[in-house]
Chains A and B, each alone.
Chain A
Amino acid sequence: MSKNAKLVILLLIIAAIIAAAPLLMLKGATFGGSDDAGSQMVNQIEGNDYTPWFTPVLENIIGGEVPGEVESLMFCLQTGLGCSVLFFFIGRFYERKKQENARAEAMKREEEK
């Protein structure tokens, strides 16, 4: 394995540990969004419940909060779109480099002859 491949694997493991550790360590924490924590802070500073003056577009359309499952669907969609584009091109670049290597090798052999 090349040096870079080892480094990538090591880095990904570290990232996974950082992401998983709080989940395992803090038993019983709610893990709400930090955006919500922000709005709680707004209430605290204002001294009363702040009422947003505009509701999200989607909530207006469907007339209520976006269901949790639908929200996670949308987040998956976002991740999926991103991943498909990113890895499609990485795959193309990978193939391209492989072909170039093969071509270079063929040229080298040609010269040796």
Chain B
Amino acid sequence: MTKRQRLIITISASLALAFGIVPAASAMHIMEGYLPPMHCIAWGALCVPFFVAGMFSIRKTLDKNRKLITVLAMAGAFIFIISSLKIPSVTGSCSHMTGTGLGALLFGPSSMSVLGIIVLIFQAILLAHGGITTLGANTFSMAIAGPFAAYGIYRICQLLRVNRKVSVFLAAFIGDIFTYCVTSFQLAMAFPSEVGGTWASALKFLAVFAPTQLPLAVVEGILTVVVVIGLESFAAPELRSLGFIKAAAAGFSAENSDDACCTAIAEGEESEAEYE
């Protein structure tokens, strides 16, 4: 890793630590000031180990193959794009997607906590969207719970030998939905109903978020699949290095007749890498 990369990680880490622990956090899009200070601190503290694990995970990946920083940047950019698109939904209100599924599948779920925090800080400070006080809670739902759900679903699909595109779709879809389930629960813990307590509240919040989010989760699944198809066609060596495509599965991108020579090129690429 270059010095600059290390610096960036350190800065984002100290930001996260400062914001996650100082009682000034309310985050996915739980609005600023909507969680009691104790909850903010607790969620923030809960995020720290994931964040640290994520930094180690990213460092390990980049140490293995420094070129993967391009794909990492793309995964981060995908979150930027996806989480900035507010899309109208069937319930007559707008919501936006998370975009963390893609990176979770490529780089492992913990690394998403690092990328997710960057986006959440951007939105909290410049957009008054989410918030600094809720940053911990929002990070937990969008950048930790969602990615882990997506990754889990993807692994299960792999075990069941589901088609890769279908698995990617399901993973991104469920990761998105799960993010909002966690958000509902976080709000419910802060605002338990008089009758029925936390669970009754959770259901109420879920009733607000879920119908809005369902079609958007489908869109997120679709967009994630599109980007994965693009990466498979043009960045096969990187994906192989990440272990996302197995070396033997190069036949996947060679399915297309026009890609028939892809395998040969891939082999050439590998021997080139050995030269370096």
Contacts and interface: CB of A to CB of B under 8 A. Distances in A.
A89 B94 contact: no
A53 B91 CA distance: 29
A19 B265 contact: no
Name the prevailing secondary structure of the A interface residues. helix
Contacts of B257: 2
Nearest to A32: B93
B125 A79 contact: no
A52 B128 contact: no
B86 A78 contact: no
Name the prevailing secondary structure of the B interface residues. helix
A52 B132 contact: no
Nearest to B205: A41
A13 to B, nearest CB: 10
Interface in B106-153: 119, 122-129, 131-133
A32 B94 contact: yes
Contacts of A100: 265, 268-269
A83 B77 contact: yes
Contacts of B92: 22, 26, 29-31
Contact of B77 (A55, A57, A85, A96): A85
A34 B211 CA distance: 10
Nearest to A12: B226
Interface in B177-222: 183, 187, 191-194, 201, 204-205, 208-209, 212-213, 215, 218-219, 222
Contacts of A71: 127-128
Contacts of B95: 33-35
Contacts of A83: 77, 81
B84 interface: yes
B100 interface: no
B88 to A, nearest CB: 5
Contacts of B46: none
Contacts of A78: 80-81, 83-84, 119, 122-123, 127
24 contacts: A15-B222, A15-B223, A18-B218, A22-B89, A22-B90, A32-B93, A34-B208, A42-B191, A45-B193, A52-B26, A53-B37, A53-B133, A56-B124, A57-B125, A59-B128, A65-B128, A66-B128, A82-B80, A82-B84, A86-B78, A90-B234, A100-B268, A101-B265, A104-B268
Interface of B: 24, 26, 29-34, 37, 70-71, 73-74, 76-95, 119, 122-129, 131-133, 165, 183, 187, 191-194, 201, 204-205, 208-209, 212-213, 215, 218-219, 222-223, 225-227, 229-235, 238, 255-259, 261, 264-265, 268-269
Given A26-B90, A58-B128, A104-B264, 20 more contacts: A37-B208, A38-B187, A38-B205, A38-B208, A42-B34, A52-B33, A53-B33, A53-B37, A54-B131, A56-B131, A57-B128, A58-B126, A71-B127, A82-B79, A85-B73, A86-B81, A93-B231, A96-B234, A97-B234, A105-B261
